[in-house]
């Protein structure tokens, strides 16, 4: 049995690493990672669970429901006792008439929240969701990843949609409720209405801006699941400056993989000596760093195949020393040979 951590006060104890399903959602939508093989995806899910991972993170927006469908199919291959906790989200939808190859809208109307939940239950083939999360704050407008979004006059206020989430919990349709991509001020508003069981911010050695939100969660007995701990693959150690991303891979237009790539790869190179000392992968060092942060319960890691999971799952057994953390902080903040990493913003050390 591998070590687990309590997810806030939900009563769920989760492994420090969980499997994310965005990367297996397939092609044909704007934030796709490119084409995937469904058989490989299902094999990755079952391999993760049989390797000791006890939770999966998904969302109806991933592949317009395809990721959830794959999770549901994978669950059918597992015995009841082996099935992991299932975490999904609500709030990114395509309205009637929208171009489904374009961006979804950030909408949290009570009717859409309930409709999305019922659709997720059908795709996942379950009668309740273990953790139901608001994907993004409602703006009523088209979703913009890694960019500012306008807020329309018809956006649903946070207090209204969080009340709906609390009602779903009372009804037993969901076990716990959480907020993803909400800042500390928004968390305060939600907490005044119903306890925030968990938050899900982006967090990695490159992107450390959520440190304030993580501190908020720690002070309020709220679980923290971080996403993109490998910065969308940058911190795996496998990415290099000459790699060309496919046009249907959303990362091809991201600053992390274009203008900021030299700084990010310099940070990766600084992690390699630490990985060599422990005989682990660079990805495992990056994941151990993220899960060492006070308040972080677990980190979501994506994989398309069982082999990819084997490349990072060892991070659950890796404990970085104070000296290791100091070394990484130095790599984040100062000159490495002739290159200043300047990798991201936020505190450099837990």
d(CA 46, CA 80): 13
Q: What is the 8-class DSSP label of residue 6?
A: E
Active site residues per annotation? 62
What is the rounded distance in angstroms from the CA atom of residue 76 to the CA atom of residue 71? 9
Structure tokens of 245? 């991303």
Q: Is residue 271 within 8 Å of 237, Cβ to Cβ?
A: yes
Task: List the structure tokens of 107.
Answer: 């909408």
- The residue whose two tokens read 């290159």 is 339
Secondary structure of residue 315 in the 3-state scheme: helix
Structure tokens at 112: 């859409």
Distance CA 5, CA 17 (A): 10
197 vs 132: CA distance, rounded Å: 10
Residues 221/9, Cβ–Cβ less than 8 Å = yes
How many C-beta neighbours within 10 Å does residue 253 have?
12
CB 235 within 8 A of CB 282: yes
At 319, is the secondary structure helix, strand, or coil? coil
Query: CB atoms < 10 A from the CB of 325, how many?
Result: 18
The beta-strand segments (E) located in the chain are 5-6, 13-14, 17-20, 55-57, 85-90, 92-93, 105-106, 129-134, 174-180, 198-200, 223-226, 298-302, 335-336, 339-340
Q: How many helices (H) and strands (E) does the chain have?
A: 10, 14
Residue-wise DSSP of 283-296: HHHHHHHHHTSTT-
Other beta carbons less than 10 A from residue 327's beta carbon: 18
């Amino acid at each position: 049995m591998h070590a687990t951590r309590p997810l806030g006060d939900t009563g769920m104890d989760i492994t420090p690493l969980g499997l994310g399903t965005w990367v297996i959602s397939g092609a044909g939508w704007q934030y796709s990672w490119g084409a995937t093989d469904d058989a490989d995806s299902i094999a990755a899910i079952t391999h993760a669970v049989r390797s000791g991972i006890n939770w999966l993170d998904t969302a109806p927006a991933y592949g317009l429901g395809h990721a959830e469908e794959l999770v549901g199919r994978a669950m059918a291959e597992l015995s009841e006792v082996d099935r992991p906790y299932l975490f999904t989200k609500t709030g990114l939808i395509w309205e009637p008439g929208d171009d489904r190859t374009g961006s979804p809208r950030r909408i949290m109307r009570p009717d859409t929240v309930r409709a999305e939940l019922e659709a997720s239950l059908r795709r996942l083939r379950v009668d309740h969701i273990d953790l139901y999360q608001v994907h993004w704050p409602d703006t009523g407008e088209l979703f913009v990843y890694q960019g500012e979004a306008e807020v329309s006059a018809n956006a649903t206020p946070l207090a209204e949609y969080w009340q709906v989430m609390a009602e779903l919990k009372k009804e037993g349709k969901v076990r716990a409720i959480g907020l993803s991509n909400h800042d500390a001020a928004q968390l305060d508003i939600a907490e005044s209405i119903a306890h925030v069981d968990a938050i899900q911010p982006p967090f990695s050695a490159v992107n450390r801006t959520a440190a304030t939100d993580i501190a908020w969660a720690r002070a309020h007995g709220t679980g923290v699941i971080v996403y993109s701990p490998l910065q969308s693959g940058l911190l795996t150690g496998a990415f290099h400056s000459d790699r060309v991303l496919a046009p249907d891979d959303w990362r091809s237009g991201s600053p992390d993989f274009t203008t900021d790539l030299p700084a990010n790869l310099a940070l990766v190179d600084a992690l390699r000596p630490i990985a060599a000392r422990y005989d682990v992968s660079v990805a495992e060092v990056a994941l151990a760093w993220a899960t060492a942060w006070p308040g972080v319960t677990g980190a979501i890691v994506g994989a398309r195949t069982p082999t990819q999971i084997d490349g990072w799952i060892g991070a659950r057994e890796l404990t970085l020393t104070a000296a290791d953390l100091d070394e990484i902080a130095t790599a984040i903040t100062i000159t490495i040979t002739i290159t200043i990493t300047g990798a991201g913003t936020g505190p450099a050390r837990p």
